[in-house]
Structure 1
Amino acid sequence: MSDFDQMGIVVDWVDACRKGDLTTLLDLYADDAQLECMCNGMHRYCGRSELEAYWQPRLSAFASVGFGLEEIHPAPHGVELEYSVAGALHIHASFRFSPEGKIRSTLCEPARQSAHAGCAC
């Protein structure tokens, strides 16, 4: 059992996304964190600079169209989250953590989508 609040870290992640706060978002990740995005093919991003390049344009989009928390719950090895963009596009994200309480990895993929939705995660 970890001695840090994994759910709290993901809530902080959601808050940073809603505010478009790139610095706070990146500070939640471990220095060697990985993000795998399976929304439009599979793409992997490693380390702070690649995460910054991934998140910067997305946070701008979230701020203009809206970012919503749909569902959050603990999972056996981390936290599972579903969020929405523009109220319709649903993304599922899985978070795993380092022993120091930083996000070690994130995997995102489309969740329940309408036939007309794309992916902006």
Structure 2
Amino acid sequence: MSDFDQMGIIVDWVDACRKGDLTALLDLYADDAQLECTCNGMQRYQGRGELEAYWQPRLSAFSSAGFGLEEIHPTPHGVDLEYSVAGALRIQASFRFNPEGKIRSTVCEPARQNAHDGCVC
């Protein structure tokens, strides 16, 4: 069990997304963090520079379309989150942490949604 609040870190992640605060979001990740996105084909990003390139346009979309927390729950190895964009588009994300309390990896994929919706995660 970790000695840091994994759920609190993800709440901070949600807050950074809602505010469009790229610096705060990136500060939650480890320097060598990895992100794997399967929303539009398999894409992998590693390190702060690649994560910044991934998140910058998405945060702009979130702030203009609206970002909502749908579900959040701890798992044996981290935290799973489901969020929505524009009140309808739903995305599932799984977070794992390093011993220092930083996000080590994120995996995101489309959640169950209407067939005509796309994914902007």
1:78 maps to 78
TM-score by length of 1: 1.00
Letter in 2 for 1:84: S
Helix, strand or coil at the partner of 2:41: coil
Letter in 1 for 2:29: Y
Q: How far apart are the structure 1 equivalents of 2:100 and 2:90?
A: 30
Structure 2 portions without partners, runs of 5+: none
1:119 maps to 119
Cα displacement string for residues 35-94 of structure 1 (whole angstroms, at most 9, x for unaligned residues) = 000001000000000000000000000000000000000001000000000000000000
2:105 maps to 105
Letter in 2 for 1:29: Y
Number of residue pairs aligned between Structure 1 and Structure 2: 121
Helix, strand or coil at the partner of 1:35: strand
Structure 1 segments, 4+ long, off by >6 Å, are none
Quote the sequence identity (%): 86
Cα displacement string for residues 4-41 of structure 1 (whole angstroms, at most 9, x for unaligned residues) = 00000000000000000000000000000000000010
TM-score by length of 2: 1.00
Helix, strand or coil at the partner of 1:50: helix
2:9 maps to 9
